[in-house]
Structure 1
Amino acid sequence: MKTEEQNTTQAKYSVLLYYIYSPIDNVVEYRDIHHQFCLDNHLLGRIIIAPEGLNGTVSGLVEDCDKYMKWIKSDPRFAKVDFKVEQSETHTFKKLYVKIKKEIVHSELPVDPLIQTGKHLEPEDFKQLIKNDPNVVLVDMRSNYEHSVGRFKGAVTFDMENLRELPEHMHEIEHLKDKKVITYCTGGIKCEKASAYLLSQGFTDVYQLHGGIIKYGLEEGGEDFDGKCYVFDNRLTTEVNKVNPVVISKCHICGTTCDRMVNCANPDCNEHVPICEKCGVEMQGACSIECKENPRKRFYDGTGYYAKTTEGYKPEIAFRTRKNTKNLQIVEELGLV
């Protein structure tokens, strides 16, 4: 099994993916401290701080990411956090956002993973179980555009935009209540609440892939994961399967085999679809003629990635000096100010 340190020895930059459910009472103060640490150590990415815990994906120089991991774990609340560490030649983010939200993954599911959740399977155990137990069913808890470019062989998938829609799809797996159900997602975070929700709905033998697709790829080579894994940084996808890889997606424009994911250049659309390089150039990053002709279409630089812009969000300004921001609204709603 690879350690966090071993994963970061061969490249100039690291990409970290992590979450932890651990109560945070001082979210306002901690948000400021966390944000300043990232600024001081040249880290970029998206970090969510909520009363229930932390969720982040961060990129930076190897030494800066090592320092960040040690700093997080030095806090007793987060000592058990599990970092998934990938290698990169550059930053995989263009900006830094450290935000306060109600949940570390938006689900609105009436469950608490600190009270009940599915049994955690380490990647090695997961691999053996899906190979040797015919009573196992894999259930993908990610959004439709994510599993369209990559998923485990034979997995059940839902046509949902986000985890909030899971209750609307429960009828699709109602007949699986007598099976061993293993949920999976990118890094494991969605499964904490998704598996808990399945248990609340009468499923009795529920598991989840600990660390998600990314950890499985890093530690077990990603066998039987078809396609690529969608990620929320400027790579858009990352390779997982080093054993028996295949491409399962096709170009949205011409239909050729393609696993190159693109965000439509039209911000009014912003669909996540596979588009080959040739069509990407010809369509200027748009997914249709209508989107190509939209006057608000963004400049296509060949990547199909567009950094999220947030009005009024300036990392260099302390949180408490900003007014009328979404952060402040959420904090007020939570009764924390």
Structure 2
Amino acid sequence: MALHNRVSRKELKERILQDNTPRTTLSFYCYFKIEDPQQFRNNLYRIFSELNVLGRIYIAHEGINAQISVPSAYFNQFKTTLYQSDQALNNLRLNIAVDDDGKSFYVLDIKVRNKIVADGIEDPAFNMANKGKYADAKKFNDLAADSETIIIDMRNHYEFEVGHFENAIEIPSDTFREQLPMAVEMMEQHKDKNIIMYCTGGIRCEKASAYMLHRGFKNVFHLEGGIINYVNKVKESGLANKFHGKNFVFDQRLGERVTNEIIAKCHQCGKPADTHVNCVNDACHLLFIQCEECAKEFEGCCSYDCKEFIHLPEDQQKEQRSGIDLGRNVFNKAKSRLGNLSIKS
């Protein structure tokens, strides 16, 4: 069988939108040594293709990072197959999506990378085995109740903007590799305090906790399973939910509703809104927050310039797009780009 997709993404997306098969969206990761990432990737592609798994998976010598959807009828078979694929993955925690429409992914992409999380760490003495202590939902709430505890959000600004934990500190940078040294610098005077780090599914905050310990911090925790697992656990256990707003996710949904609070604002008019969209202009695709009124006014575009562009004849659009990286602003992290949006007077 082919070890990569051969059907156009446009066709695949249309197929999944028309398919009513119930699907379960989930994510998982594991830091463990993979001797031959390419072989591991190929074996996984064969297994997952047979189960009609869709999604995005990264493989590296340091482990695996996956966000996928599985036909619900195959979920138990998928879980068994995954657990049996490698001893390190046996009984691995699977983070089930909080708010799922089954349309999160439409293609299976499995890629080999240098690292499953780009961290910029070059110190050979750094060891992921020496990581912070897990904090489950109850432990997180207990620690958070102490005014001396420091809660650090290890996500990007557009994730933090639409939802975060009470009293969480944002690390104001554009990439995870920049956040790590910044977090150390910002917390330098608090090395003996309890520090909890969190992210979407746990993979970034787990590495961040190991880095903080590596840099001399003492009492570092990381939220087990990240926001996704926390929200599911507080619901199951009847615990108080300390997360407010929406949990940003890197798939077609662009967010999971956790609470009804809207804590962000439309980037075009300033009204309360937390719906992320990508500009429909194929020469832009900027990720930004847009309310329903502005979506109509700008026809799904981020600016009047882009709105004007999409009404040009197709041949003119193609000519002007020539040489442009069409996806350069998808999940764009630079806050400076948001200042270019057209604000309605």
Q: TM-score, normalised by structure 1?
A: 0.78
Is residue 2:60 matched to residue 1:50? yes
Compared with structure 1, are the counterparts of its residues 113 and 260 closer, same or farther at alpha carbon in structure 2 (3 Å cutoff)? farther
Q: Secondary structure at the match of 2:170?
A: coil
RMSD after superposition: 2.5
Q: Which amino acid aligns with 1:99?
A: K
In 2, distance between residues paired with 1:44 and 1:265?
A: 24
In 1, distance between residues paired with 2:277 and 2:190?
A: 34
Q: Which runs of 5+ in 1 are unaligned?
A: 1-10, 300-307, 311-337
Query: In the alignment, what sits opposite 1:317?
Result: none
Query: In the alignment, what sits opposite 2:304?
Result: 289
Compared with structure 1, are the counterparts of its residues 285 and 83 closer, same or farther at alpha carbon in structure 2 (3 Å cutoff)? same
Compared with structure 1, are the counterparts of its residues 89 and 248 closer, same or farther at alpha carbon in structure 2 (3 Å cutoff)? closer
1:143-185 deviations in whole A, cap 9, x for unaligned? 1111111111111102222211122454333233232110000
Q: Which amino acid aligns with 1:224?
A: K
For 1:192-271, list aligned pairs within 5 A.
192-221=206-235, 223-241=241-259, 245-266=260-281, 269-271=284-286
Select the residue among 78, 82, 92 that pairs with 1:81. Answer: 92
In 2, distance between residues paired with 1:247 and 1:57?
A: 25
Query: In the alignment, what sits opposite 1:153?
Result: 166
Query: In the alignment, what sits opposite 2:192?
Result: 178
State the identity as a percent: 34
Which is greater in Rg? 2
Query: In the alignment, what sits opposite 1:3?
Result: none
Q: Which amino acid aligns with 1:220?
A: V
1:280 Cα deviation after fit? 1.7
Question: Does the 8 Å CA contact 1:266/1:296 hold for their aligned counterparts?
Answer: no
1:98 Cα deviation after fit? 0.5
Q: Which runs of 5+ in 2 are unaligned?
A: 1-20, 315-324, 328-345
Q: Secondary structure at the match of 1:88?
A: coil
Compared with structure 1, are the counterparts of its residues 284 and 270 closer, same or farther at alpha carbon in structure 2 (3 Å cutoff)? same
1:266 Cα deviation after fit? 4.0
Compared with structure 1, are the counterparts of its residues 39 and 171 closer, same or farther at alpha carbon in structure 2 (3 Å cutoff)? same
Compared with structure 1, are the counterparts of its residues 210 and 239 closer, same or farther at alpha carbon in structure 2 (3 Å cutoff)? same
Q: TM-score, normalised by structure 2?
A: 0.76
Query: In the alignment, what sits opposite 2:50?
Result: 40
Compared with structure 1, are the counterparts of its residues 192 and 25 closer, same or farther at alpha carbon in structure 2 (3 Å cutoff)? same
Deviates more, 1:270-279 or 1:19-28: 270-279
Moved over 6 A (4+): none
Aligned residues: 287
1:259-303 deviations in whole A, cap 9, x for unaligned? 111123345544332211221232232222233344699x9xxxx
